[in-house]
Chains A and B, each alone.
Chain A
């Protein structure tokens, strides 16, 4: 009889439902994936001028950016109009070359946005930032949050100044400044 109680007790302990230590998903990683999708769609729906649409598509990362693994995964697995994608890391603004197609400015480096804009003025380069207010400060694309979801701003004057053309599909989804 005692053994029976022990067995029942054992199974009840096994079954005791409680607040389990379920792992919580990483919301920052989830947002990084969304930004990775934004980046790939930018390479698809922005048109670079003649002479800049040949060879490897260069994605530059200025500073240490949490998005870098997403960018590297993009370069490993996707192409831009049949062209390979290459990732280059720059520590300083002066290292950014004119043949870089898309420059991702890390949040930490975005305090130097004005010098990035001076250094790259007129170059057909998509400058992508990730802080509120930087779309109006002159970056071409700025990742923000709108209506409870990640979104992005497009600065059309900057885009035109860099001879970049943007598909309507992209403009329709963006906040156009």
Chain B
């Protein structure tokens, strides 16, 4: 884990990926290794946007394996939630303004599915830490996008009371 982190900090991405894959093969259920894997895949996703969905699936797999062992793991819930939420936001904001409507609406369905998957993860982190602002902010965006008006009102009130 330390070696992989070191290689990532040095931006030696290929070596980090190989080291990580070797470590994962050896310790497939080690929580610490899996959490590091999630972060490494995120860093690699940022450097290679063409393979964003592939890296998102790797992150999803790593965090799901942690959650299968420790369902209340705050970092695994939060980091996976952020991965899904940000992917949906990025899919929308990266669209060109001349995108055809058919393609846009298909893409928006994908985004809604990502928001739906992220929602229980942030609801979990919010239940674990009720005043965690980033969880509340993420829930605000999710409830808005999933037309959950009453939940949106409640989460906005919570955010307002924390200001």
Interface residues, chain A, with chain B CB atoms under 8 Å away:
8, 11-12, 14-15, 17-27, 29-31, 33-34, 36-41, 70, 73-74, 77-78, 145, 148-150, 169-170, 173
Contacts and interface: CB of A to CB of B under 8 A. Distances in A.
Contact of B97 (A11, A15, A74): A74
B89 A22 contact: no
Nearest to B141: A27
Contact of B2 (A11, A77, A169): A11
A24 B6 contact: no
A117 B88 CA distance: 37
Contact of A145 (B5, B82, B100, B147): B147
A148 B2 contact: no
Q: Which of A8, A31, A70, A169 has the most CB of B within 10 A?
A: A31
Interface string B9-47: 100000000000000000000001001101100100000
A15 B90 contact: no
Interface of B: 1-6, 9, 32, 35-36, 38-39, 42, 74-75, 78-79, 82, 85-86, 88-90, 92-93, 95, 97-102, 104-105, 108-109, 111-112, 115, 125, 134, 137-138, 140-141, 144-147
A146 B36 CA distance: 39
Given A11-B3, A40-B97, A41-B101, 9 more contacts: A24-B82, A24-B134, A24-B137, A26-B89, A27-B144, A31-B92, A33-B93, A149-B111, A149-B145
Nearest to B74: A19
Nearest to A73: B97
Contact of A34 (B39, B74, B92, B146): B92
A27 B145 contact: yes
Contacts of A15: 1-2, 4-5, 32, 36
30 contacts: A11-B2, A11-B5, A11-B6, A15-B4, A17-B1, A17-B36, A17-B38, A17-B39, A19-B78, A19-B125, A20-B39, A21-B134, A22-B86, A24-B82, A24-B85, A24-B89, A24-B137, A24-B141, A25-B141, A27-B141, A29-B89, A30-B92, A33-B92, A34-B104, A41-B100, A74-B97, A145-B147, A148-B145, A149-B109, A173-B101
B86 A24 contact: yes
